[in-house]
Amino acid sequence: MRCGVPEFSIVDGRVQTAPGVALVWLPRDGQVIAKIPARKGNRRWLHESVRIRSPHLDKDSGKWTLPRNCLTKLVTAAIDRYGYIVVCRDMSRLSKRTRTCLEAAGSDCDCSCLGAYHGADSFGWFERVGDVMVADLGEVKRTAILYSAKANNTDPVIYDGQLSGLDYRADRAGRHGWPLAIQFMCACCMSARARVWDHCHAHGFVRAPLCNTCNTRHWRGWQPQHGRATPSSNLDTSYYAWCPWHNDTEVEPCSA
């Protein structure tokens, strides 16, 4: 497993994650249940960035109920926002892995591969990190898999606005032709390989590829006026300007 990745486990059939780690549960039937770090703007992010029409929040549990067909978009967008996400699935013990599973474009899998190989032959924006954890619940097997952005071994290059002016999209069709973020250096610290695509939450435009540290420190409360954020030795927020409306005084200011 990669260094610094979040830990998770299955205890008595329940998936447990570290604080601040996004989790999505795909039951055998019914809607997707998501638990994401609580903060202002989550509903807007789900509606406008993930493009879920009517996300529903249970205020008592803090969990979101979402359409089942949003799973792939949610995983892709959550990785861009948090760096990682744990996906929990309930699967029948009797199901078998088929070519349909290997070639699938989505993440709604119910077969003997336990989700580990689902979509293995299709183009994807994320990949499994580490082993699949499994809990036997009788006729159902519950699995938990950690996903992160897809890796790339080529030498990273400087981002030069390849996606300038494009709307941020988390769906397969919307990302057709996009390069992987990991092909670039982080546009903020310029000292680490990028992992995810950052976008302006206020206007919806793609801005630049960032490393997980630079991307997540924004929603953890860091602001440029607070000074440099470790472990990055550089600080450059000029990538905000890749939002076409960044300097437009007549629209809502760009957000982190």
**pLDDT exceeds cutoff 60 at 110:** no
Assigned token pair, 129: 């990190």
d(CA 233, CA 116): 37
Cα 101 to chain centroid, rounded: 21
- Give the SS3 label for residue 94: coil
pLDDT digit string (tens) for 207-226? 999 998 888 765 544 444 44
Mean pLDDT value across the chain: 81
CB 12 within 8 A of CB 76: no
**What pLDDT is attached to residue 47?**
94
**What pLDDT is attached to residue 170?**
93
**pLDDT exceeds cutoff 70 at 114:** no
**What pLDDT is attached to residue 168?**
96
d(CA 102, CA 118): 5
**pLDDT exceeds cutoff 70 at 116:** no
pLDDT digit string (tens) for 41-87? 899 999 999 999 999 999 999 999 999 888 889 999 999 999 999 99
Q: Is 41 left (phi over 0), alpha (psi -120 to 50) or beta?
A: left
pLDDT-above-90 percentage for the chain: 40
**pLDDT exceeds cutoff 90 at 18:** no
**What pLDDT is attached to residue 233?**
47
CB atoms within 10 A of CB 61: 10
Rounded to an integer, the average pLDDT of 104-127 is 56
**What pLDDT is attached to residue 86?**
94
pLDDT digit string (tens) for 19-30? 888 999 999 888
**What pLDDT is attached to residue 121?**
45
**What pLDDT is attached to residue 232?**
45
Q: How many residues does the chain have?
A: 256
**pLDDT exceeds cutoff 70 at 113:** no
**What pLDDT is attached to residue 33?**
95
Q: Whole-model pTM above 0.85?
A: no
pLDDT digit string (tens) for 119-135? 554 446 788 888 888 88
d(CA 183, CA 186): 10
Identify the residue whose tokens are 């390989």.
Answer: 193
**What pLDDT is attached to residue 231?**
44
Q: What share of the chain is helix, strand, coil (3-state, %, to 5)?
A: 20, 25, 55
Domain chopping of the chain, boundaries? 8-149, 153-256
pLDDT digit string (tens) for 225-252? 444 444 444 567 889 999 998 887 667 7
